[in-house]
Amino acid sequence: MARASAPLALAEAERVVTEAVDCGRLASAYAERLGNSLRVPGVLDTLLAGAFESKRRGHGDIVSVSRNLFIPLTNLCRDRCAYCTFAKQPDDPAAKTYGLDEVAEVVRDAVRMGCIEALFCLGDKPEIAYKSHRAWLAERGLATTAEHLVQACQVAFEGGMLPHTNAGILSAAEMTQLRQWNASLGLMLETTSARLRGKGEAHYYAPDKDPAVRIRMHEEAGALAIPFTSGILLGIGENVAERVDTLRTIRDIDDQFGHIQEVIVQPFHPKPGTPMRGVGPIGDDEIAGWTALARLILGPRMNVQAPPNLAPKVLERLLRSGLNDWGGVSPVTIDFINPEAPWPELAELRRRTEAAGQRLVERLPVYPRDLLERPDYFEPRVREAALRLADASGYARPPKAGARVEAA
Ligand code: SF4
Model pLDDT for residues 340-385, shown as the tens digit of each residue: 899 999 999 999 999 999 999 999 999 999 999 999 999 999 999 9
The answer as to whether 22 is a domain residue is no
Q: What is the span of the domain harbouring residue 106?
A: 55-389
Query: 79 CB less than 6 Å from ligand 1?
Result: yes
The answer as to whether 25 is a domain residue is no
From the CB of residue 395, how many other CB atoms can be counted at a distance below 10 Å? 17
pLDDT band, residue 406 (cuts 50/70/90): very low
Q: How far is the CA of 99 from the centre of ligand 1 (A)?
A: 21
The answer as to whether 215 is a domain residue is yes
Residue 84 Cα: closest atom of ligand 1 = 6
168 conformational bin, left if phi > 0, alpha if psi -120 to 50, beta if neither: left
Angstrom distance (rounded) from CA 284 to CA 313: 9
The answer as to whether 10 is a domain residue is no
pLDDT mean over 29-51: 96
- State yes or no: pLDDT of 407 exceeds 70: no
pLDDT mean over 120-149: 98
Query: 367 CB less than 6 Å from ligand 1?
Result: no
From the CB of residue 273, how many other CB atoms can be counted at a distance below 10 Å? 6
Query: 168 CB less than 6 Å from ligand 1?
Result: yes
The answer as to whether 287 is a domain residue is yes
Query: 124 CB less than 6 Å from ligand 1?
Result: yes
pLDDT mean over 325-345: 92
Query: Which stretch of DSSP H or E encloses residue 234?
Result: strand 228-234
Nearest to 341 by CA among 323, 359, 329, 357: 329
Query: 126 CB less than 6 Å from ligand 1?
Result: no
CATH number of the domain that residue 110 is part of: 3.20.20.70
Which of 83, 86, 208 has the most ligand 1 atoms within 8 A of CB, as the residue to mutate? 86
For 138-168, the pLDDT digits (tens) are: 999 999 999 999 999 999 999 999 999 999 9
- Three-state secondary-structure class, residue 230: strand
Average pLDDT score, the chain: 95
pLDDT band, residue 29 (cuts 50/70/90): confident
Question: Which residues in 332-369 are b (16+ Cβ under 10 Å) and which e?
Answer: bbebbbbeeeebbebeebbebbeeeebebbbbbbbbbe
How many structural domains are present in the chain? 1
Residue 77 Cα: closest atom of ligand 1 = 8
For 283-308, the pLDDT digits (tens) are: 999 999 999 999 999 999 999 999 99
The answer as to whether 170 is a domain residue is yes
Rg (CA), the chain: 20
Question: Which residues in 17-51 are b (16+ Cβ under 10 Å) and which e?
Answer: beebbeeebbeeebbbbbbbbbebeebbebbbbbb
What's residue 313's pLDDT?
Answer: 87
pLDDT band, residue 5 (cuts 50/70/90): confident
- For ligand 1, atom 4, name the residue with the nearest CA: 81
- For ligand 1, atom 3, name the residue with the nearest CA: 79
- State yes or no: pLDDT of 399 exceeds 80: no
Regarding pTM above 0.85, the answer is yes
User: DSSP states of 15-34 as a string?
Assistant: HHHHHHHHHSS--HHHHHHH
Query: 84 CB less than 6 Å from ligand 1?
Result: yes
What's residue 323's pLDDT?
Answer: 98
What's residue 355's pLDDT?
Answer: 96
The answer as to whether 14 is a domain residue is no
Q: Dmax of the chain from CA atoms?
A: 66
- For ligand 1, atom 7, name the residue with the nearest CA: 123
The answer as to whether 43 is a domain residue is no
What's residue 400's pLDDT?
Answer: 64
What's residue 311's pLDDT?
Answer: 87
Q: How far is the CA of 120 from the centre of ligand 1 (A)?
A: 14
**pLDDT over 90 percentage in the chain:** 91
Which of 78, 122, 124, 276 has the most ligand 1 atoms within 8 A of CB, as the residue to mutate? 124
pLDDT mean over 86-111: 97
- State yes or no: pLDDT of 4 exceeds 50: yes
